[in-house]
Amino acid sequence: MSIITIERKVLEKNDEIADANRARFRQHGLFVFNIVSSPGAGKTTLLERTIETLRGEMRIGVVEGDVQTDLDARRVASYGVPAVQIVTNGGCHLEARLVRDALDSLDLSALDLLVIENVGNLVCPANYDLGEALKVVVLSTTEGEDKPLKYPGMFRRASVLVINKIDLLPYVNVNVATIETYARDINPDLEVFQTSCTTGEGIPAWCEWLRGRVARA
Amino acid sequence: MSIITIERKVLEKNDEIADANRARFRQHGLFVFNIVSSPGAGKTTLLERTIETLRGEMRIGVVEGDVQTDLDARRVASYGVPAVQIVTNGGCHLEARLVRDALDSLDLSALDLLVIENVGNLVCPANYDLGEALKVVVLSTTEGEDKPLKYPGMFRRASVLVINKIDLLPYVNVNVATIETYARDINPDLEVFQTSCTTGEGIPAWCEWLRGRVARA
C-alpha cells in the first residue's frame, strides 16, 4: 500500500515537471516528440534519416536516453545537430526531471523541432510524460504482429505508430495490415506510417507529417 | 530516500521467495531457466522449436509472462505441454511471487524442464531472480550490434546468449561476430548459440546443451 502511494507521488511529481517542460517548449514554439520502442526497432536510424531529410529546412535538436553509453548521441551529433545524452544507469525509462536537466545543455530558442529518444522499452516509458506534444512508437516488422495486443499501454498512449524495417517483410512471417489492425483495435486514433530506413521508403511521408506539426507549433 | 529503502525491501523479499522457488525446483530435480529478451526477439518461437525437438525425450512445462493476453501460453500449450500464463497487467517484469503462485497450477514432479518466459523487456527483468538456475537472453540479429553495450545489466546476469534470426543476416547491416565480441566484453563467461527458428539452424546445438543441463539437474 505504501509503495503504491509513493509511486503515485512519483508520477504526480513527474507530471508537474512535465507540464513545466511543456510550457517551456510552447514558449519557444518548439514541436517536441518522445520516440519509444523495443530495443533495436530502429529509433536512432529513423532519426538519422529524418535529420538528413529535414536539416536544411528546420533546426533540430535531440535528447538521447539510454541505460548505458553515449553511442546514440554521438551518432546523431555526427549529423551536425545539437544532441544531449542522458544515461539512466540502469533506469528503464526517461523521467521529466532528467529531460529538464538535459535542456540546460540546449538553446531552445535556436530550435524548431526537439526529439526525445527514450530508453528502448515498450513497457515503462508509457507511464512517464516528459512534456512532449506526443509520443511516437516505432515497431519493427521483425517483432511480429502481436505486439500492440501484448503491450497495449504504449500503443494506447502513442499518437503515431511508425512500422519500420518494411524492407524485411519478404523474409518474415508478418502481415503489416494485421499489425495496423491490432494497433487500431487498441487505439483507433493512431496515425500510422510504414518506413524502411534502409531503402528510404516511407521517409518522405513521415517527414511531410513532421513538417506540418513543426509549422503548427 | 524512502523509495530506495522500499525498493531494497521489495528486492530482498523477492530474493527470499526466489530462494524458496529454487529449493522446490531442486527437490524435484528440475532444470529451470528464465528466458528474457526485447519484445519480438523470438523467445516464444525458440520455445516452440525447443519443445518440438525435445518433447519425446523429456517432460517440459512452461510459465509465460506477459503484460497482457494469454496468446503465448496458448501457442505453447498447442504443443501438448502444460503451460501457465501470468498476466502482469502493466507490470514490466516477472517477480518470484508471481512464479510461486503459477507453480500451483503445475505438477513439478511430472516435469524435467521448466521454462519461465519473462515479459519482453531488456531492462527490468534483469533485477528479479525468479528461482531459476540461470537466465537465457535472446537477441535478434535485427536489433543491431550494440545492444549488449546499451543494456549491460541483462547480459551480465545471463549465462547464455542466443543470437536468433540468423536467417535474416543477409538482409541487415549486422555482423554476428561483433555482437558476440560486445557481449563477451560485458560477460566473458557467456555461452553463445546462434539460431534461426525459421530454418532450424542452430536448434540442435542449443537443444544438445539443454539435454546436458537437464541430465545434471
Write the pLDDT tens digit of every residue in B7-16.
778 889 999 9
The residue of B9, B11, B122 whose CB has the most chain A CBs within 10 angstroms, and thus the best one to mutate to test that interface, is B122
Q: For the stretch A76-89, what's the b/e string if a residue is b when 16 or more beta carbons lie within 10 angstroms of its beta carbon?
A: bbeeebbbbbbbbe
Write the pLDDT tens digit of every residue in A56-89.
999 999 999 999 999 999 999 999 999 999 999 9
Comparing CB atoms, the residue among B71, B171, B173 nearest residue A146 is: B71
The verdict on a CB contact (< 8 Å) between B171 and A167 is: yes
- The Cα B173–Cα B182 span in angstroms is 16
pLDDT at A1: 40
The 3-state DSSP class for residue B33 equals strand
**Which cell is A204 given?**
518522405
Measured in whole angstroms, the distance separating CA B19 from the mean position of its chain's CA atoms is: 18
Taking CB atoms and an 8 Å cutoff, what residues of chain A touch B91? 123
Q: Sign of the C-alpha dihedral, residues B57, B58, B64, B69?
A: positive
Mean pLDDT of chain B: 96
Question: What is the mean pLDDT of the segment spanning A132-141?
Answer: 98
- The Cα B36–Cα B92 span in angstroms is 12
Taking CB atoms and an 8 Å cutoff, what residues of chain A touch B92? 92, 121, 123-124
Comparing CB atoms, the residue among A40, A123, A171 nearest residue B171 is: A171
Show Cβ contacts of residue B19 under 8 Å, excluding neighbours closer than 6 positions.
B131
Q: Where are the alpha helices (DSSP H) in B28-160?
A: 43-54, 71-77, 96-103, 147-150, 152-157
Secondary structure tally for chain B: helices H, strands E: 8, 7
pLDDT at B23: 98
Please name the residue that has the C-alpha cell 548459440: B193
User: Burial level of A25, CB count in 10 A (0-12/13-18/19+)?
Assistant: buried
- The Cα A112–Cα A61 span in angstroms is 8
State how far residue A38 is from chain B, nearest Cα, in angstroms: 6
H-run or E-run covering A34: strand A31-37
pLDDT bracket for residue A176 (50, 70, 90): very high
Does the structure show a pLDDT above 50 at A190?
yes
pLDDT at A137: 98
pTM of full prediction above 0.90: yes
CB-based contact B142:B102 (threshold 8 Å):
no
Comparing CB atoms, the residue among A71, A140, A165 nearest residue B146 is: A71
Show Cβ contacts of residue A213 under 8 Å, excluding neighbours closer than 6 positions.
A31, A33, A133
Write the pLDDT tens digit of every residue in A20-31.
999 999 999 999
Does the structure show a pLDDT above 60 at B3?
no
Write the pLDDT tens digit of every residue in A93-122.
999 999 999 999 999 999 999 999 999 999
Question: What is the mean pLDDT of the segment spanning B42-54?
Answer: 98
